[in-house]
Amino acid sequence: MSTRSPAHRVVLTGDGPVLVDGPLEIELADGTLVRSDRPVNALCVCRRSRIYPFCDTSHRQRVRTSDEEQR
Amino acid sequence: MTTTTAHRVTAPPLPQPRGPVSRAVLALLRGEQPDAFDVAGTDAYGDDLQLALYCCYELHYRGFDRVPDDLEWDVSVLALRGRLEAVFEAALRRDVAGGDDVATAVDALLVEPIDAPGVSHHLMRGGELWQLREYVTHRSTYHLKEGDPQAWAIPRLEGQAKAALVSVEHDEYGAGRAERMHSQLFAKMMTELGLSTCYGVYLDAVPAATLAEVNLMSLCGLHRRLRAALVGQFAVVELTSSPGSHRLVRAAERLGAGPATARFYREHVEADAVHEQVVRRGILEPMLAAEPALARDVVLGIQAANLLADRLSEHLLGAWGEGRSSLRSPCPT
C-alpha cells in the first residue's frame, strides 16, 4: 500500500462546506474558471453562499433571539 | 498625522496613567520607584487595571519607546503583572458560567442571530462613517498584531492541533507574503479611513473594554496552563468572524468607505469560513482527544471571550446611542 501515490483528499463536513486543499481551479457551471491559492478551501454545497463557489457560512441556522420585529 | 503604510519598526510612547495601578506600572517602566498601591479594591475590568496589564504585556510584543527591552523579564515587573493577572483572571472565572461542555459552547457560536444588537449589525443597518472609524480604531489594538497572541499557543500544542493552528496562522500572516498579512490589510484600511497606522498610537484613546479583549489573549497566550483557553478564545474569533465580516463589507459599501476597507472584511468572510472548519476539526477535536482535561479551559476561553466582546459591544452601542464618541479622546478627522 505504501507504494500508492498520495491521493487528493476531499473532506465532506456534512453540516457545512466541502474542504479541498489548494491551490485550486474550480470550473463553474457556466464554464468560468475560478482560482484560489488558499492552502485549504471551503466550497459551498448548499448554494446559499453570497461568494459562491466559496463558503461564507450562510448554511448556518439563523434564529431570532427576541420577539422584536426584524429591522 | 502619519498615513504611511511603509514598514519602519518603531516602539510607541508610554501612555498616560489612568489611576494608581497604571501609574505604578508606568513608573517601573520608566525606571522610577513606584508608589505602593492596593490592587484589592481595583475594578478588574476598569481603565486603571486594564491599561496597567496592557502595558506589562506590550513588553512581549513591541515594547515602548525609551523602555529598556530587558524589562520584559524583569522580576519586579513580572511580580506586579502577576498581581494584576490574578485580579483579572479571578473576575473572569467568577463572571462566566463555566463547565466542560465544549460541544454546546461551540454549537452556540454556530447559530446566527438575525436580530442581534451587535456592532456589525448596527454598522450595516444604520451606522455612520465616524462610528466605523471609531470601531476600526478600537480594533487596531489587536489587528495591528493580528495572529500574534495566538502564536504563543504553537509550542504548547502537539501533533495535528499544532499543525492546524500553524496553518491558520500562516493564512493570518499572508502565507509568506507581507502585503497579504491581515495586519497589513488592516493598516491599509486605516489609511483609507484617515487613521494613523502607527503601532500603539491610539492606546490613550481606547477604553478598558477594548484593552480587556486583547489582555485576555495575552493572559492566555503567555501562560501555558491557559493554552486551551487561548484556543477557546481563538475559536470565538474564527467561528463568528465570517458573518460579522459580511455585515461590515455591507457597512463599508453603504458608507462609501473605500476599497481597502471592503477588502479587509471581504477577505475575512472567505478566510474565516475556512478557519472555522480548521479550528473545529483540526485544532479542537485532536487537542481534546489528546488532553480531555482541557475541555474546561476551552469553555472558559469561549465564555470569557464572549463576555468581553459583549462588554465592548455594549460600550460602543451605548456611546453611539447617545450620539457621543466611544473613545476617550476623539478620533482625528
Cell of B146: 493580528
Across B127-139, average pLDDT: 97
pLDDT of residue A24: 94
pLDDT of residue B332: 60
The CA distance from B17 to B40, in Å, is 18
Across A31-57, average pLDDT: 95
Which of A37, A39, A57 faces B242 most closely, judged by CB atoms? A57
Chain B residues within 8 Å of chain A (Cβ atoms) = 110-116, 125, 167, 170-171, 175, 242-243, 246, 266, 269-274, 276-278, 281
Q: Which position has the higher pLDDT, A15 or B331?
A: A15
The CA distance from B42 to B39, in Å, is 5
The distance of A32 to chain B (nearest Cα, Å) reads 19
pLDDT of residue B330: 77
Which residues of chain B neighbour A60 with C-beta distances below 8 Å?
110-112, 243
Q: Is the confidence at residue B117, as pLDDT, over 90?
A: no
Beta-ladder partners of A18? A12, A43
> E strands along chain B, which residues?
112-113
Maximum CA extent, chain B: 53
Q: Which position has the higher pLDDT, A39 or B71?
A: B71
Are the beta carbons of B270 and A56 separated by less than 8 Å? yes
Which residues of chain A neighbour B246 with C-beta distances below 8 Å?
50, 56
The distance of B3 to chain A (nearest Cα, Å) reads 30
Which of A37, A40, A65 faces B116 most closely, judged by CB atoms? A65
pLDDT tens-digit map of B208-231: 999 999 999 999 999 999 999 999
Are the beta carbons of B273 and A70 separated by less than 8 Å? no
Q: Is the confidence at residue B1, as pLDDT, over 50?
A: no
pLDDT tens-digit map of B232-261: 999 999 999 999 999 999 999 999 999 999
Peptide bond into A17 cis (omega under 30): no
Give A68's pLDDT tier (boundaries 50, 70, 90): very low
The distance of B147 to chain A (nearest Cα, Å) reads 17
Cell of A8: 487528493
Which residues of chain B neighbour A63 with C-beta distances below 8 Å?
111-114
CA angle, residues B263, B265, B269, in degrees to nearest 5: 110
Percentage above 90 pLDDT, chain B: 91
Across B57-70, average pLDDT: 97
Across A13-37, average pLDDT: 94
Q: What secondary structure does DSSP assign to B275-298, as a single string?
A: HHHIIIIIIIHHHHHH-GGGHHHH
pLDDT of residue B109: 95
Rounded mean pLDDT of chain B? 95
Closest CA to B151 of B72, B226, B230: B230
Which residues of chain A neighbour B273 with C-beta distances below 8 Å?
17, 42, 54-57
The single-letter code of the amino acid at B74 is: D
Helix (H) or strand (E) holding B255: none
Are the beta carbons of A39 and B175 separated by less than 8 Å? yes
The CA distance from B231 to B104, in Å, is 16
Give the number of beta-carbon pairs within 8 Å between A and B: 78
Please give the ipTM for the structure prediction: 0.86
Nearest CA in chain B to A14: B277
Q: Is the confidence at residue B289, as pLDDT, over 70?
A: yes
Q: Which position has the higher pLDDT, A68 or B282?
A: B282
Cell of B18: 489612568
* Pairing relationship of beta strands A10-12 and A18-21 according to DSSP bridges: antiparallel
Q: Is the confidence at residue B96, as pLDDT, over 50?
A: yes
DSSP 8-state assignment for residue A19: E
Backbone angles phi, psi at B329, to 5 degrees: -135, 140
Give B10's pLDDT tier (boundaries 50, 70, 90): confident
The CA distance from B319 to B205, in Å, is 14
List the single best residue of A40, A44, A48, A70 to mutate versus B (max B Cβ within 10 A): A40
